[in-house]
Amino acid sequence: MLKLLDHMVIENSLSKQLFLRLFPDLSGAAHFIEVNGMIDTSTVESSNITKGEYLLRLHRIYLLLARSLNPVTRNDCIGVAIEASSTDNNPLESIENTLEPGDRLYNRASYWSSLGSRDPDVPETLTYGLVSNLCAISEIHIQPFLAYFQDGFPIYSAKAVRFKMGHQKLSVNSSTSVSNGLAVDYSSASDHFFWTYVSPEFPMAQENTLQIFKLPEPAFCVGGVLQVELLGRVQRQEMDGLYYLCVSHVEVVGRPLLPEYDVDIIDQSGKCILKYFPELPEPSSTNGEIGRGHSRASRLVQRGVHGWEHIVLNTLVGGRGMFDDDDDDIDEEIAE
């Protein structure tokens, strides 16, 4: 039987409180987990469970999520360029160039260019695969390209941008899982993606700077696919009178899963099962900027999450039960 203190921890959602203390920027996780039911740690149906079983399920989800998300906010969440809706001169003006910072590489211009259009309202898209199948994305950075080799140094920016996040469409009666760090075979057809998040539109300045587009609140990208929509064109090319869009660099800022974690996507809505793969080694270092409160988060992990999530992980991989009589010290630390 569960001890009284175990009941207090679960019924008072202390694991959720600890998660929000570790990741205060992810306050929207509660809606994502509890209202939309988009993440779980088990494939067992949850429609007819008791209140206690439901709280225990949430307890496990928050603890595993607290352990699996990168404690460092990274600005290198893009793993691969999937496709551009059009390219003027491939491969010299390929979407691959947008993975490199700046607008020059090896003494030549580095940028992606769309095909030209007589209609300034024709949009374009750039689609990327992220470094993990679950990322909490907070910002996207985009640098329009200044054509320094053309008269007048025109900047081929968009009027506005919008962002979509999602996953590849699933075949009937199937799920998908791609372990972090392994190659992903993305389909190049844009209609093969299912979008579970669409951002508001953001105006883009006609400036050759790395422009920051901060989402209203961090959004969970389930499935590891992010698309940049470039809406409207402002610059004609003098040589042919057509409107173009050109981008030098794209960055995605957020918290991906640590390498030893991954998700199975089990339906088209993006609902997923969070999984732990103990055979994958933990990284020795992490690139990116340290998020606010990271030192405090580290102390909390050492004091509170470490013991509790150890129990959760052992349960998932077939070890000892969720609660044992030897866990008094852990109970006391979590309850503090």
Decide if pLDDT at 330 tops 50: no
Give me the pLDDT at residue 45, please: 61
Q: Are residues 242 and 122 in the same domain?
A: yes
Ramachandran bin of 248, using left for φ above 0, alpha for ψ from -120 to 50, beta for the remaining angles: alpha
| 167, 43: one domain | no
Is the bond preceding 91 in cis, omega lying within 30 degrees of 0? yes
Q: Which of 202, 237, 256 marks a domain boundary? A: 256
Same domain, 117 and 217: yes
108 and 66 share a domain?
no
- 316 with 244, same domain? no
Residue pLDDT, tens place only, 102-120 = 888 888 999 999 999 999 9
23 and 115 share one domain: no
- DSSP E strands, the chain: 39-40, 78-84, 104-105, 108-109, 112-113, 124-130, 134-144, 158-168, 176-177, 193-198, 202-203, 211-222, 225-233, 235-236, 243-244, 246-256, 261-265, 272-276
Q: What is the mean pLDDT of the chain?
A: 80
> 252 and 140 in one domain?
yes
Q: Is the pLDDT of residue 335 over 70?
A: no
pLDDT exceeds cutoff 80 at 320? no
Domain end marker among 256, 278, 302? 256
- DSSP-derived letter for residue 235 is E
Does residue 270 belong to any structural domain of this protein?
no
85: domain range? Answer: 78-256
Q: How sure is the predictor about 28, in pLDDT bands with cuts at 50, 70 and 90?
A: confident
pLDDT of residue 111: 97
What would the mean pLDDT of 206-223 be, rounded to a whole number?
Answer: 96
Please count the structural domains in the chain. 2
Question: Is 124 among the domain residues?
Answer: yes
Looking at the fold, whether 148 and 56 belong to one and the same domain comes out as no
Predicted TM-score (pTM) of this structure: 0.80
